[in-house]
Structure 1
Amino acid sequence: MSHERISPPTQLGSPRRIKAVFFDFMGTCLDWHSSAVSALPRTISEVARSKLALDWRREFFDELHARSGQGLAPEDIDITHRRTLLRILGREPYREYSHHFQGADGSARLTYDNEGYNSPSVESAVASWYRMSAWPDVLPALTALKTELGVELFVLANGTTRLQLDLVRSSGLAGTFDMLFSSELLGVYKPEPEAYAKALRLVQVQPDQAVMVAAHAYDLRAARNFGMNTIYVSRWTDDVGENMDDIRRENNAFLSEGGMLGLVDAIKALG
């Protein structure tokens, strides 16, 4: 994969009116944490499951950024999730929890909690990423963008197309987006400039006519460098290691700390 800088397309005299809004998906639109925690063994305390889920997510991002930095093509997200979960379970303090998962140690042993529920497998934990609920503010915000502004809405997220298709259905967002752009479909991970360039070229929209909405600062930094408008949505599950004061100083057009409430007014102000 080439790492040469890709210049944003230019079009003299093009209007600046916002035509398209691109959304990161998991974390930004969807509550991945609840889904992941519910799929982890109930023989582990809820507090420990929550921390395990958060650390699994961070490990996933570290892996993704490492692959992107090495110029590697996107891989099936299930493979990445499986590998990172097993890696986490091989470390302290989670090593003691590995036997709670069927297959984590190569055994077929079943374990049960006090209520008689058998422990899930690593595979069922990986599969949980295909079933998520949307944050409560998301559907009203997306509906308002469609009805009040008439803009086109797109998912632009790392992962597979199958993952995105399943997630829009399980989250109740089916039919809301005009197109789903996955790293698998585009052949490149965000935050590589080519990811944003390909999506914009395909929908024939200029960078300054588009908005990137995300709960991940790295995503918005890359989109802004490419010339897109950016809106940061604060979610407690994401950007755990980021400094919010730094994000406020990074010239995001708006910083939304109330989820997607006010998103319509924020985009109206862009023109």
Structure 2
Amino acid sequence: MERWTVIIILADFKLPPQRLNGDETKAVWFDFMGTCLDWHSSIVGALPPAFPESDRSKFALEWRQAYFDYNAERIKQGRPVEDFDLTQLRVLDLFVEEQPEIKHLFSAEAKERLVAAWHHQRAWNDVQEAVEKLKRDRNWEVFVHANGSTRLQLDLVKSAGLRFDMLFSSELLGHYKPAPEAYEKTMKLLNYGPEECVMVAAHASDLRGAKAVGMKTVYVYRWADDIREDQEAVEKENDAYLSDMSNLDTVIAGL
């Protein structure tokens, strides 16, 4: 009886992802809070009952900006990613301390309720259908890419009733946006090149970071965010500038 020796050679190769519908774009990244979610209503509603009604919106907007400023300083100093709730509590403590006229309204319990409110937000009215159209009609993958914690993002997709293919948090990635490493790591994990990716955000800084690594960018204006940005300049910086997400899929397809 003849004996045969069979040698199997395993080659280490990887097939490139197939193009979807002939489009160059394959995946869309979304910033979450502000861009997709109405954080403002949640925070205004969670303020202490005795807090003056006329000052609630102003407080929420300024606290939000204080958070951005705090994080920007952390990034500048090269400090590691910090738990979102801890950061918000630190910023709230500092922010309230600077306002002695309202400091007495913020007990430890009141502060805890405010920080917890970030975990429960409604989606803006135009978001759910926009995301579903990207998935259903364009067959693109959609991701959340946002500073914050994974637990925060899990809570928010539940409270907002949104569906994404993956949630990328700064906690998970180990980098804050707009650091280039934050975008590059997500693309590497998903095996995409920047020319195949679009970043959608209501924050100009997020999009500047995305554009710096070669991603296409779509700015969606939300009145409660980017309160210090020159919107005319922001419009010129990005591949598209929208007042809402009602025709987001068509705009991205045309980039």
1:17 and 2:17 aligned:
no
Aligned partners of 2:134 and 2:52: how far apart in 1? 40
Aligned partners of 2:53 and 2:144: how far apart in 1? 31
SS of the aligned residue for 2:134 comes to helix
Structure 1 runs (4+) deviating above 6 angstroms are none
Q: Which runs of 5+ in 2 are unaligned?
A: 1-15
Is this contact kept in 2: 1:16–1:208, CA < 8 A? no
Residue in structure 1 matched with residue 102 of structure 2 by the alignment: 97
Residue in structure 1 matched with residue 121 of structure 2 by the alignment: 132
Aligned partners of 2:46 and 2:110: how far apart in 1? 9
Q: State the AA in 1 paired with 2:102.
A: Y
Distance 1:194 1:16, change over 3 A: farther
Greater displacement, 94-103 / 215-224: 94-103
Q: State the AA in 1 paired with 2:91.
A: T
Residue in structure 1 matched with residue 218 of structure 2 by the alignment: 231
Aligned partners of 2:53 and 2:131: how far apart in 1? 32
SS of the aligned residue for 2:137 comes to helix
**1:1-271 to 2 correspondence within 5 Å?**
17-91=24-98, 94-103=99-108, 121-173=110-162, 176-250=163-237, 252-257=238-243, 259-270=244-255
Q: State the AA in 1 paired with 2:130.
A: A
Aligned partners of 1:249 and 1:21: how far apart in 2? 21
Aligned partners of 1:95 and 1:23: how far apart in 2? 38
Cα drift, residue 72 of structure 1: 1.0
Aligned partners of 1:39 and 1:146: how far apart in 2? 34
Cα drift, residue 16 of structure 1: 6.5
SS of the aligned residue for 1:180 comes to strand
Q: State the AA in 2 paired with 1:101.
A: F
Cα drift, residue 262 of structure 1: 1.1
TM-score by length of 2: 0.90
Q: CA RMSD in A?
A: 1.4
Aligned partners of 1:67 and 1:125: how far apart in 2? 22
Aligned partners of 1:88 and 1:54: how far apart in 2? 12
Distance 1:268 1:28, change over 3 A: same
Please list the CA deviations of residues 112-133 of structure 1 after superposition, one character each: whole Å capped at 9, or x if unmatched: xxxxxxxx51111111000000
Cα drift, residue 221 of structure 1: 0.7
Is this contact kept in 2: 1:35–1:128, CA < 8 A? yes
Cα drift, residue 47 of structure 1: 2.4
Please list the CA deviations of residues 51-79 of structure 1 after superposition, one character each: whole Å capped at 9, or x if unmatched: 11101000000011111111111100111
Q: State the AA in 2 paired with 1:95.
A: P
Q: State the AA in 2 paired with 1:156.
A: H
Is this contact kept in 1: 2:23–2:253, CA < 8 A? no
Aligned partners of 1:88 and 1:70: how far apart in 2? 21
Cα drift, residue 88 of structure 1: 1.0
SS of the aligned residue for 2:112 comes to helix
TM-score by length of 1: 0.85
SS of the aligned residue for 1:50 comes to helix
Q: Which has the greater radius of gyration?
A: 2
Please list the CA deviations of residues 57-113 of structure 1 after superposition, one character each: whole Å capped at 9, or x if unmatched: 00000011111111111100111100111111111xx3211111223xxxxxxxxxx
Please list the CA deviations of residues 175-197 of structure 1 after superposition, one character each: whole Å capped at 9, or x if unmatched: x1000000000001001000000
Cα drift, residue 229 of structure 1: 0.3
